[in-house]
Amino acid sequence: MMRIAVIGAAGRMGKTLIQAITDADGVKLGAAIVEPTSSLLGADAGEVAGVGKLSVSIVSGIEQCINDFDVLVDFTTPELSVGNAAFCAKHGKSIVIGTTGLNDEQKSQLEEAGKQTPVVFAPNMSIGVNLTLKLLSLAAKILGDDYDVEVIEAHHRHKVDSPSGTALRMGEVVAEALGRDLKECAVYGREGQIGPRTQKEIGFETIRAGDVVGEHSVWFATEGERIEIAHKASSRMTFAKGAVRAAAWLESKPAGLYDMQDVLNLK
């Protein structure tokens, strides 16, 4: 049975991941990790997550539980995720990363880790979102340059990166399908006398409010019609279930850098 470690186990996403692991077949919680200053060190991870006693004590570092897991699930920060990927590569552990906000250098470091161990990295682990990415690619290829593209996203007030990693990935998918480079055609917000919209730009609009879990909508608009492809998440469980599915999928996989499109066989 695949043993999964959750880092950030006392946080909102960490608790949801533990719930998802408990509900899934073929996997179990092997380790739970929190910050060294946490008051929950030594507590039972299942009781903290509200799923009952699991006999897995919360520890303060990945080094303390190296023999207790096969794959690490990481929804933390770019710096931590990159370091954890390197640690897993060194010690023969797989890793699933749902962290957003990584820069190009950090993504390159994940590629290096993927040369030594299996890594799944995706800005959004939701199965529905990843199906949406497939639909966006298809729509962009069919609609072409005659349609303006706008990406609109909303998240809770605590989210620190903007636009969201999912919104950026949606823009990347559309840009790739249209033969564009998102770094050259992206426009992030608009203000003042900026002039008319250019034909090939891809716009991004960001909303941060309340407790919105995650909403994304992509517009393809032209004279006379508008097509919207949207995804709305109402619970973090959708991301947790996808991450657990990715962790189980990694069993027996060779070293490599994968994404959820690989996990769901959408490529």
Is the pLDDT reported for residue 17 higher than 90? yes
What integer pLDDT is reported at residue 229 of this predicted model? 98
Task: Quick: pLDDT tens for 166-195.
Answer: 999 999 999 999 999 999 999 999 999 999
If one counts the domains in the chain, the total is: 2
Same domain? For 9 and 35 the reply is yes
pLDDT tens digits for 207-242?
999 999 999 999 999 999 999 999 999 999 999 999
For the segment 33-49, the average pLDDT, to the nearest whole number, is 95
The answer on 197 and 212 residing in a single domain is yes
CA distance 80 to 142: 40
Residue 213 and residue 104 share a domain: no
94 and 200 belong to one structural domain: no
Distant-in-sequence, close-in-space partners of 119: CB < 8 Å, separation ≥ 6: 85, 88, 89, 94, 95, 96, 97, 110, 113, 256, 257, 258
Q: What CATH number should be reported for the domain holding residue 228? A: 3.30.360.10
Whether 109 and 183 share a structural domain: no
Pair 105, 138 in one domain = no
Residue 221 sits in which domain range?
Answer: 127-233
- Residues forming the active site: 155, 159
Output the domain CATH number for residue 12.
Answer: 3.40.50.720
Co-location of 147 and 71 in the same domain? no
